């Protein structure tokens, strides 16, 4: 299959080469246009060769060379194309004429900027940095306490995240590894169920709009942007949390990620990734609040898609596609694996085997390592109801304010 893909890429490169060479006769600097065509042809061929090497064993070095040549050709193509566009825009007849004119223009702009450097750096009337007793008076105002309280509220998610990360990185290495395995597998199954529910919800909404049952333009782009925003925000909070974790050791708190009880640089990847999963789960719920954003009916805009998502999640749970059932199917191959003991030395010897750790937690505990499906369903419904109600109240108040202003 990869050989066929490589052949298609090479054929595409030949087609692009013939097209660009045919257009080169219209350019003032024909050799530069041919350089662009040749560099792009090399990129296509290098990409095709990389795919071909995937079906051929023992030729990794050829793939590396082809990839390097393709990157170099891509850079040459970008530079040549930029020069060609500049020549075309300036009307120059040669590359030297264009470079001389461009250099003179850049030098003129540099001289102008340097001659007005002070006004550029500090425009007239700019007094953004002011020292004096008025600053002290302002800091002692009662409003400062209110602003400090609001700042504390804003920073509270970061403090909560830092506390959560500290809890996840305390304790002995064996217990921490088992807890991370249990949380990781449950997070995997929960996000799997939510993703299946979201895809089904979007498919049903598209079907309803196609059948003219739902007369609303679906805003899928806004929904995807909402999920991406939640993932990005949660990842940023996770990165800030990971960067602050080493400071906890200075405060006398135990922080560790490795089996030897030492904080490792892997925390810079693990913590943001964990928070990104949380952000994704919240983003899935919030995406349903945005998908019918164009609806004029507030109930349709804020409750229809979330209610449909909640019903689909309930349906998945009751047909046997809940997180606990998915986790049981994932652990089915490990049921025959014997757990020789529950002591820390045994767990340490399997610290890299997440499935074994989960099996050990199941065998050494009460046998339950998965989130109960009914608890999961109740939490999902509660979160959906809370978010949908909050946004509905906000839109209701906004519409009421607009209506009252229009009635005056």
Segment 1-30, tens digit of pLDDT: 667 877 888 888 888 888 888 877 777 788
Q: Which range among 13-27, 82-96, 380-394 has the greatest average pLDDT?
A: 380-394
Residue 198's pLDDT is 94
Nearest Cα to Cα of residue 75 among 32, 43, 50: 43
What are the Cα distances from residue 353, in Å, to 172, 213, 231, 307, 334? 17, 50, 27, 39, 11
Name the residue with higher pLDDT: 317 or 241. 317
Residue 228's pLDDT is 94
Tokens of 237: 């909070």
Residue 377's pLDDT is 92
Name the residue with higher pLDDT: 130 or 109. 109
Residue 230's pLDDT is 93
For residue 363, what pLDDT band results from cuts at 50, 70 and 90? low
Residue 320's pLDDT is 86
* Mean pLDDT for the stretch of residues 37-44: 89
Residue 225's pLDDT is 94
Cβ atoms of 303 and 388 closer than 8 Å? yes
Which residues lie below 8 Å from residue 234, measured CB to CB, with a gap of 6+?
275, 276, 278, 279, 280, 282
For residue 388, pLDDT over 60 is answered with yes
* Mean pLDDT for the stretch of residues 190-202: 93
- What is the rounded average pLDDT for all residues in the chain? 78
For residue 310, pLDDT over 80 is answered with yes
* Mean pLDDT for the stretch of residues 314-340: 78
Residue 271's pLDDT is 76
Residue 127's pLDDT is 64
Q: Whole-prediction pTM value?
A: 0.62
């Amino acid at each position: 299959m990869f050989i066929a893909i490589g052949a298609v890429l090479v054929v595409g490169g030949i087609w692009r080469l013939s097209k660009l060479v045919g257009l080169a006769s219209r350019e003032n600097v024909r050799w530069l246009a041919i350089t662009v065509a040749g560099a792009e042809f090399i990129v296509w061929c290098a990409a095709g060769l990389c795919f071909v090497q995937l079906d051929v064993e023992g030729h990794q070095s050829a793939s590396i060379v082809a990839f390097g040549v393709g990157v170099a050709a891509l850079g040459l193509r970008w530079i040549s194309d930029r020069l060609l566009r500049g020549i075309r825009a300036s009307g120059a007849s040669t590359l030297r004429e264009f470079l001389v004119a461009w250099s003179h223009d850049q030098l003129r702009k540099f001289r102008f900027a340097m001659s007005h450097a002070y006004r550029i750096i500090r425009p007239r009337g700019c007094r953004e940095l002011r020292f004096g007793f008025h600053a002290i008076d302002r800091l002692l105002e009662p409003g400062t306490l209110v602003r400090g309280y609001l700042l504390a509220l804003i920073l509270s998610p970061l403090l909560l995240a830092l506390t959560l990360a500290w809890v996840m990185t305390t304790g002995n290495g064996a217990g921490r590894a088992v807890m991370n395995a249990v949380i990781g597998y449950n997070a995997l199954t929960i996000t799997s169920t939510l993703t299946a529910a979201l895809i089904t919800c979007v498919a049903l909404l598209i079907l309803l709009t196609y059948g003219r049952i739902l007369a609303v333009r679906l805003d899928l782009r806004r929904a995807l942007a909402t999920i991406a925003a939640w993932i990005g925000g949660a990842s940023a909070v996770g990165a800030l949390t990971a960067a602050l974790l080493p400071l906890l050791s200075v405060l006398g708190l135990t922080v560790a990620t490795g089996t030897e009880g030492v904080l490792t640089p892997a925390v810079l990847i693990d913590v943001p990734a964990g928070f990104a999963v949380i952000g994704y789960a919240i983003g899935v719920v919030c995406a349903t609040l945005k998908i019918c954003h164009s609806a004029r009916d507030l109930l349709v805009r804020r409750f229809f898609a979330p209610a449909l998502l909640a019903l689909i999640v309930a349906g998945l749970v009751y047909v046997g596609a809940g997180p606990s059932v998915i986790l049981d199917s994932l652990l089915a191959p490990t049921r025959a694996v014997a757990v020789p003991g529950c002591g820390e030395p045994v767990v340490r010897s399997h610290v890299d085997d997440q499935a074994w750790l989960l099996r050990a937690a199941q065998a050494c505990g009460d046998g339950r390592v998965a989130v109960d499906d009914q608890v999961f369903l109740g939490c999902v419904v509660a979160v959906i109801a809370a978010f949908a109600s909050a946004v509905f109240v906000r839109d209701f108040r906004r519409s009421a304010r607009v209506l009252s202003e229009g009635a005056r």
